[in-house]
Chain A
Amino acid sequence: MGTVIHGETGDWELVIGLEVHAQVTSQSKLFSGAATSFGAEPNVQVSLVDAAMPGMLPVLNAYCVEQAVRTGLGLKAKINLTSVFARKNYFYADLPQGYQISQYEHPIVGEGVVILDMKDGSTTTVGIERLHLEQDAGKSLHDQHPTKSFIDLNRSGVALMEIVSKPDMRSPEEAAAYVNKLRSILRYLGTCDGNMAEGSMRCDANVSVRRPGEGLRTRAEIKNVNSIRFLQQAIEYEARRQVDIYEDGGTVVQETRLFDSTKGETRSMRSKEHAHDYRYFPDPDLLPLVLDADAVERIKAGLPELPDEKKERFMREYGLTSYDAGVLVAEQANAAFFEAVAKGKDPKLACNWVMGDFAAAQNRLGRDVADPVVSAENLRGLIDLIADNTLSGRLAKEVFELMVETGKAPSLIVEEKGLRQVTDSGAIEAAIDAVLAANPDKVAEYRGGKDKLFGFFVGQVMKATAGKANPALVNDVLKGKLG
């Protein structure tokens, strides 16, 4: 559902397109053998090529190309068997060559699609315009010295995929869902780690507003949005700003704006008349990139099951709702954990536990699914104990917490702590009789019409049985006795 801004002069609709820069997961850079790992000391991962020493030449990293093709296939996009690297010329201190090697007229990947899973269970399709490969620039550090800027070239030459969407999103929520979904697909494919905090996934938003049904109006490009929350804030702010301009009779100028996360606003980035003319032209140091159709087919054959297909299968095989399936498949490891737990068990129960208590405990303890608070095997054991009525829901939660604490198998905990639920109707009947006998006044009130007291009796019985009584049995017997 699109966001509608109700202005003073009528309704406005949002139009959002996103450009995502995703760092290609690879050992070495796009055109040099230097390493790419995050967090190294400044300027230690710099080859002669990355520093643009005289006479140095780029040599294309075939693995990065494969990763781009893999990503294109994952986005159900057209793979262009011939693409061309071009130079984008501009001067900046952290751009050693004085140009960025990118792809311009002939990108490696053409049109594709991303399907968004919205919170209400609905889906929306966002078109992909293109994906191209390009080099990252270095980093300028302006806060190390009062009058000088320092340059770190570790990032210079690292491979990026620029993934450009069509202007198909209509709300900040859709933009957020798009980034989440794209991130999920890239992580499934192993082509980008999707880490926004470390900058391996960065996002620019093109935002405009229009009257419903109208053609596109002038857009602003918002840069420096380094989290999904900020992306939503930036879009909201920018849309409102543009509506205010139009409603005051002004015009929106096409410009680049910077999101200031502390103030929660966007502001114009180019103070000076610094209109860039990038003078793109094909890089004469590199031949056109020609892919072999068979090689593309081989990459396609090796693709993992992607989130959309997995979600569909989870709904089909396990009978999960669209929402539950969507949440479970967002991270491949979570989906795998769920499947390990659910195999041969009641899938709904497995889903509830994985998404409920298990996920909560993971979050609380800051754990990764690779390092789960309880093993899939133990969670399966717990589900068995629930299914065969050894544990009530309440006891199961208690056992689960002990599993988290001790790492022990649930059956062992049940034995040690005697947490087995009481299903012996004689024992339960005795406990109920004792409770009723101890509370003759409450019994009289209940019989006089105060139905709410039923819960009180259940509570007393559970207390008397140390929570071990089967709640369904307690209900049945209690109803009969109070009748």
Chain B
Amino acid sequence: MSALNHLTMAQALDGLAAKTFTAVELAEAHLAAIGAASGLNAFTTVTAELALERAAASDARRAKGQAGALEGIPIAMKDLFCTEGVRTTASSRILETFVPQYESTVSAKLRDAGTVMLGKTSLDEFAMGSSNMTSAFGPVISPWKRRADPAARLVPGGSSGGSAAAVAARLAMGATGTDTGGSIRQPAAFCGIVGIKPTYGRCSRWGIVAFASSLDQAGSMARTVEDAAIMLTAMAGHDPKDSTSAPLPVPDFKAALTGDVRGLKIGIPREYRPAGLSDEIARLWDDGIAMLKDAGATPVEIGLPHTKYALATYYIVAPAECSSNLARYDGVRYGLRVDGKTLDEMYAKSRAAGFGAEVRRRILIGTYVLSAGYYDAYYAKGQKVRTLIAEDFRKAFETVDVILTPTAPSAAFAIGETDDDPVTMWLNDVFTVPTSLAGLPGLSLPTGLSSEGLPLGLQLIGRPFDEETVFKVAGVMEKAAGFKAMPPGLGA
């Protein structure tokens, strides 16, 4: 038997049920792995004591026959989910010492399903970034290495980089992520794991530190499609505390993994194959199309004509909402305060000391696009384009059942390779942002390695609230791709 921290959730649930091992043993194995991998800087806070306490309680529940759907499964929590009594930082100085008195709906559902939280994972500050380099507590390092250049410190992607690195490095069986423009899918692709951003409204946003309210959505990150499905089932559901959460029942996503995609039409958008797309990514995509063809699905070329406006639209809408959402971090009631002679000076000093460069940049952009005289040219126009982008997808889904694209334009890059130019960094989201703007479910799964030996991912996009088809197709591709690579040093 492989080490406990190498099991999938499904295997671990079987082992727990068969009393092969206990939840405490599972938690201990993961905590040991976390200790050994502290160099990755994946966690902002490790809650070892709490984890062992919860694992013991989990074992007790199981002994009494009260096991939940994820009873005893050790997971990591992105440090954007407020956790009662556990520091929640959003990887920002301004919340460095903030301890919530409440538990987010999603983390509460996972807790109630029996999961054991190991700790809080690092992220780009306030989830703004695609590399995890904007964290106030230092970058997260990917467990993956370039074959030819093992010394280069690679980014895990972002913003859910800590979660992705933790799952890839076997520090947790699964982790929560949030995705605003690609923050689950891109790090999942960079780290060779599965990540799904469900339909906007599928998971409650209550208790998740807000970045851009109309885009933010929680999702699951795990090493298999099945695990991601099991975990998302436990996270999702209507919440009266979030007016934008959908009053719909949650299907058993695992049950959608029938392995049968015969007759399904797979949309292949021509706009996702721009002139500069790397051969490696193009080949990965073609391989994916071939896998689905072999499984009996039909690829159909489609057009999503407004795709080229998506990134610009996203960088109007998301900063606009962020500029308003982050106004509450003012030093008055909680979080960092730097005193000043006047109220305005206290605000300015607290926010200058509390926010990093990327967060400040987006607040300024957002403030600008909402200001008098610019609103119509930017924000109002951005909302109109957003509607057109959503309309593109709606029309496409009249003829296809799911859409297949690359997740990111490249494999993971190394720290220092791109951070001098924010716009280059933003281009990482070019394939994931349209889905976010349209509120659609998007899943990334690893299907191959780059020439440097780094994982590459493909994205599946579904109809609103049709995560089941996305999971079904992903399951078939996972089997066909047979992706077994692991970060160096983790080989069984």
**Interface residues, chain A, CB within 8 Å of chain B?**
48, 51-60, 87, 89, 91-93, 96-99, 149, 151, 277, 279-281, 284-287
Contact = CB atoms under 8 A, between A and B. Distances in A.
Nearest to B104: A55
Contacts of B212: 284
B45 interface: no
9 contacts: A53-B334, A54-B82, A55-B104, A56-B206, A89-B323, A93-B332, A97-B327, A279-B367, A284-B213
Would you call the interface of chain B mostly helix, strand, loop, or mixed?
loop
A91 B327 contact: yes
Given A96-B332, A279-B371, A55 B210 contact: yes
Nearest to B334: A53
B198 to A, nearest CB: 18
A48 to B, nearest CB: 6
B22 to A, nearest CB: 33
Contact of B333 (A52, A55, A58, A280): A52
Interface of B: 81-82, 88, 90, 95, 98, 100-102, 104, 205-210, 212-214, 240-244, 320-321, 323-324, 326-328, 330, 332-334, 343-344, 347, 367, 370-372, 375, 379
Nearest to A140: B343
Contacts of B327: 89, 91, 97-99
Nearest to A274: B344
Residue picked from B100, B207, B328, most chain A C-beta under 10 Å: B328
- A-B complex: 4 closest residue pairs judged by Cβ atoms: A98-B327, A284-B213, A279-B370, A284-B214
Name the prevailing secondary structure of the A interface residues: loop
Contact of B244 (A48, A87, A285): A285
B1 to A, nearest CB: 40
Contacts of A97: 327-328
A285 B95 contact: no
A122 to B, nearest CB: 43
B478 to A, nearest CB: 33
A87 B323 CA distance: 12
A281 B332 contact: no
Contact of A59 (B81, B243, B326): B243
Nearest to A94: B332
Contact of B372 (A58, A149, A277): A277
Contacts of B242: 57, 59
A97 B332 CA distance: 11
Contacts of A48: 101-102
Nearest to A58: B243
A58 B323 CA distance: 18
Contact of A96 (B101, B214, B244, B328): B328
A51 B333 CA distance: 8
A420 to B, nearest CB: 70
B330 A98 contact: yes
A54 B101 CA distance: 11
B324 A89 contact: yes
Given A93-B343, A277-B372, A57 B333 contact: no
A96 B333 contact: yes
Contacts of A58: 243
Contacts of A279: 323-324, 367, 370-372, 375
A32 to B, nearest CB: 10
A64 to B, nearest CB: 14
Contacts of A60: 243
A54 B324 contact: no
Given A91-B327, A96-B328, A96-B333, A55 B209 contact: yes
A55 B206 contact: yes
B43 to A, nearest CB: 19
Given A93-B343, A284-B213, A57 B102 contact: no
